[in-house]
Every structure is written in structure tokens, then in C-alpha cells.
Structure 1
Amino acid sequence: MATFNAQQTEVPSMKYEDLEKRIQKENDKLLIVNFWATTCAPCVKELPHFMELNNQYKDNPKFKMILVSLDRLVDKERVIKFIKNKNLTAEVILLDDVKRMNTWIPKFEKNWDGNIPITLFYKNGEKVHFNDGEMSKEDLEKTIKDNLQ
């Protein structure tokens, strides 16, 4: 299994079903899934906290972070540049499925109104926490600590 501690130079684009499968692969971990976009100011603002904690826990086999970009497929190069410029060390996936947003958003979280950023926390395959909006470093740290036992 490839590790993503180094920066990605390529970003896989996938549909909802593929992302769902990708999430299920991590069913023995605390998995953090953050939905963001390069054009979303609060998303960009919170990412350094996510990277700090991702780097802190990267050697923990029970921890995994995935950043799901909702940028358009035509903007994929911008996402790749962003990864490099912002030193994103978590795994980045481009969710190329905008047309079906109303189908998959409620599958992830019934209280999600479609705005980003949002962060979902799964533990052993079960969703344990939903954070709507920007997440402070303290909240992120606490949610990780509370669930990483």
C-alpha cells in the first residue's frame, strides 16, 4: 500500500461510488475525510491545522486522513499545484461528481447542506462525528484524541 507522506504529484479523480469504496478500505482506522476546494477560503484557512495533525499522527497505523477536493476536473492542475504549494501531506482525491451532488451529499451526512468545508470522522467503518464548517485546531485535535483509542 502506498503511503502519502510525500506530496502527491497526481490526483485521482473518482465518482461517489469509488470514494465510498476508498473510505470503506480504511475500516480498521480512525479516518478523517475533509471535503474542500481550492476556491473556498475557510477550507484553505483550516488546512494547515489538518496538516499539522496529519503529520503528528502519520506513524500511527490506526490513523488516516483523506482530503476530498470538490474542484472541477478541469481545475485538476490547480489542485496539484495547491498540494505542492501548501505542502499537503494527506491523501488527496478529486470527487468529479458535481451533477449528482444531491444524491451523494445526504449519503455522507443527512445534515450536510452542501456547503464546504465539512469534515467526517469514521471509526472502524462507522461515522462517529460530523463537523459542519471550518474546524479549529483545538476541535480537530480533541476529536482525534477522543476517537483514537
Structure 2
Amino acid sequence: MKTAWICAFAIAVLSTDLATAQERVPLVTLNELEKRLQNGGDTTFVVNLWATWCAPCVAEMPHFERLQAEYRLKPLRVIFVSLDAAKYHDAVRRFVDAKGLKNEVWILDEKNEQHFIPLISEEWSGAIPATLFVNTSKGVRIFSEQEFDYQQLERDYLAIVQQNQ
């Protein structure tokens, strides 16, 4: 009886962990991402496109985490969008946990790069790291294909916030 209870408990915990992982690092389509950005009102979204295997991407992640933390009382949302293939979902989740990332992390669930790259930005060659700044109420959509240091990231964010003030 005791063994059955322990097994049931273990299954419940594992099921909860899987659900939490799915919620913590969801697979999203480009349409779902665009809907989130378009429904953001006055929120400035900073969408960082990255992959676990991209060293410059990983190196700049703390700057995005810091930006969100320092401007937590402002209408700002940093979203990390992983370009790792959906089949590496568990590896991305483990990476997120190991790095202790606090911002939202999504995996782009799109198969055809030739289709989604120009939809994100006509300027995008497909190289990463890349970042998209969006504020729909200000009509802002700025794409940047570069690695950021904190000072440049903060300057770019503040330039958007200060528009039309």
C-alpha cells in the first residue's frame, strides 16, 4: 500500500514537472508571437532571438535579464525566443533552468526559416543573436541583428520609451 502511494506521488510530481516545463518554455508559432506583440498596448517588447548553441546569444542574455529587472515597474516585457528546433524542447528547458532565466522563454515552432525570417524582418539575414523591439501604441518595430552590451540595449530601449513624450 505504501509503495503504491509513493508511486502515485512520484507520477503526480513528474506530471506536474512536465506541465510546468511546457508552461515555462512553450512552443509558439510566429502568428502567436505576433498576436502577443500586437495586443501589447503601450508595452515595449524586447524580443531576443537566440539558440542554446549560439555563444554570443548566451553571452548577452544577462543584459536582457538586467534590463527587465531594472525597468520592472515600466511597461516592458523581455521575451527570449529560442530558434532551437522543437525536438530540443527539453534541452532548452534545462538550459533555462540552469541559467536561472527569469524572463519569458518561448521556442519558435516554425519549420521553414525561409518563410518566417522575412516575416520577422525584411532586414534579417537569419543570423543570431537578433532582437526585435516592438511598441504598437507608438508604431515602433525596430529590428537589430547584433550582439548587445547592456549600455546599448538600455539606450535602444529608452529611445523607444522617450518617443512621443
Pair in the same fold by TM > 0.5 = yes
Per the TM alignment, residue 25 of structure 1 is displaced from its structure 2 partner at its CA by 2.2
| Structure 1: segments with no counterpart, 5+ residues | 1-7
Q: Is structure 2 residue 130 aligned with structure 1 residue 118?
A: yes
SS of aligned partner of 1:106 = helix
Task: Give, in whole Å, the separation in 2 of the partners of 1:90 and 1:74.
Answer: 22
Find runs of 4+ consecutive structure 1 residues off by over 6 angstroms. Answer: none
Task: Give, in whole Å, the separation in 2 of the partners of 1:127 and 1:94.
Answer: 24
Task: Give, in whole Å, the separation in 2 of the partners of 1:81 and 1:137.
Answer: 25
**More moved, 38-47 vs 11-20:** 11-20
Q: Which residue of 2 aligns with 1:55?
A: 69
Number of corresponding residues: 140
Per the TM alignment, residue 132 of structure 1 is displaced from its structure 2 partner at its CA by 0.8
Q: Which residue of 1 aligns with 2:120?
A: 108
SS of aligned partner of 1:143 = helix
Task: Give, in whole Å, the separation in 1 of the partners of 2:143 and 2:45.
Answer: 12
Q: How does 1:79-118 map to 2 (within 5 A)?
A: 79-97=92-110, 99-118=111-130
Q: What one-letter code is carried by the residue in structure 2 that aligns with 1:45?
A: A
Q: Which residue of 2 aligns with 1:37?
A: 51
CA contact (8 A) 2:68 2:78 kept: yes
Q: Which residue of 2 aligns with 1:3?
A: none
Larger Rg: 2
Superimposed CA distance per residue, residues 59-93 of structure 1 (whole angstroms, 9 cap, x where no aligned partner): 22x11111100111121111111111212111111
Task: Give, in whole Å, the separation in 1 of the partners of 2:41 and 2:133.
Answer: 11
Q: Which residue of 2 aligns with 1:5?
A: none
CA contact (8 A) 1:36 1:69 kept: yes
SS of aligned partner of 2:32 = helix
| Structure 2: segments with no counterpart, 5+ residues | 1-19
The alignment's C-alpha RMSD in Å is: 1.6
SS of aligned partner of 2:153 = helix
Per the TM alignment, residue 142 of structure 1 is displaced from its structure 2 partner at its CA by 0.4
Identify, as 1 or 2, the structure richer in helix. Answer: 2
SS of aligned partner of 1:33 = strand
CA contact (8 A) 1:13 1:94 kept: yes
TM-score, L = length of structure 1: 0.86
Per the TM alignment, residue 140 of structure 1 is displaced from its structure 2 partner at its CA by 0.1
CA contact (8 A) 2:38 2:136 kept: no
Per the TM alignment, residue 38 of structure 1 is displaced from its structure 2 partner at its CA by 0.7
